[in-house]
Amino acid sequence: MRIATWNINSVRLRAGLIQRFVKEVNPDIICLQETKVVDELFPHNMLENLFEHRHVRGMKSYNGVAILSRIPFVSTDSKNWCGLNDCRHISAKLINGIEIHNFYIPAGGDEPNPKTNKKFEHKLNFLDEITEWGTKNSHPDKLKILVGDLNIAPHENDVWSHKQLQKVVSHTIIEIEKLKKLQDSQNWVDAVRYVIPYTEKLYTWWSYRSKDWRLSNRGRRLDHIWVTPNLKEKITSATVFHDARDWIKPSDHAPVFIDINI
């Protein structure tokens, strides 16, 4: 099974890029974030021939998540966090028994101070809430995959400069600590780093501000795929598909995918 995660940064604007990605990579499942469209305007007509099973949850102009699958769903669900109906999470249980959770964690704004920055406070509260949920719903026998734009680059080799970004939102100590607590809540395994060692620099996002993103390569690894320990040994490969960042009108995120021998 090949599963991908991609912050698409407007699914209607980039549905054609999804079609191209499917042609080149042939994933069984794509989980999207920042779809930025209400459910009734989701471009099903462009994607239904590629993915028969689709679970979407969106809002106008902001956020939004989707799970597109060739593997049938047994059930689907979604949850609200921090008392907001802001479309940051959906889940689906597949016919093969795997439960997939797709998250879009708040970016957190510019200033890493929850007292003066409500967006950063929201991000920290969101992490606390889903960590509590994860702890309560930890079942060692269940097969689970958590994917999404988690908006945190936890390791020093997940950012272009650990020294310069330590006080920049997405790589601060408090965010990294809270992400670790979330990971520990169900003993999640970082599937990409299980394959690609931490000794290698690895990014999934590059700012639009850079005219030549490959040359400057000032990236961050914000997009993640985690699996429960019972799936760890089944991971066969992990890839950041950099080519998509070079396509016409790309997302600022590159797709990430893993292969699991199910």
34, 80, 87, 106, 204 from 84: Cα distances, Å: 16, 6, 8, 12, 27
The domains found in the chain, sorted by start residue, are: 2-260 (3.60.10.10)
Angle (CA) 238 239 241, round 5°: 160
DSSP of 138-186: --TTSEEEEEEE-----SGGGBS-HHHHTTSTTS-HHHHHHHHHHHHHT
Please check whether residue 119 is in contact with residue 169, taking contact to mean a CB–CB distance below 8 angstroms. no
- Mean pLDDT (10-residue bins), the chain, 262 residues: 98 98 98 98 97 98 98 97 98 98 98 98 98 94 97 98 98 98 98 98 96 96 98 98 98 98 94
Please check whether residue 63 is in contact with residue 82, taking contact to mean a CB–CB distance below 8 angstroms. no
Alpha-helical regions (H) of 27-117: 44-47
- Does the pTM surpass 0.95? The reply is yes
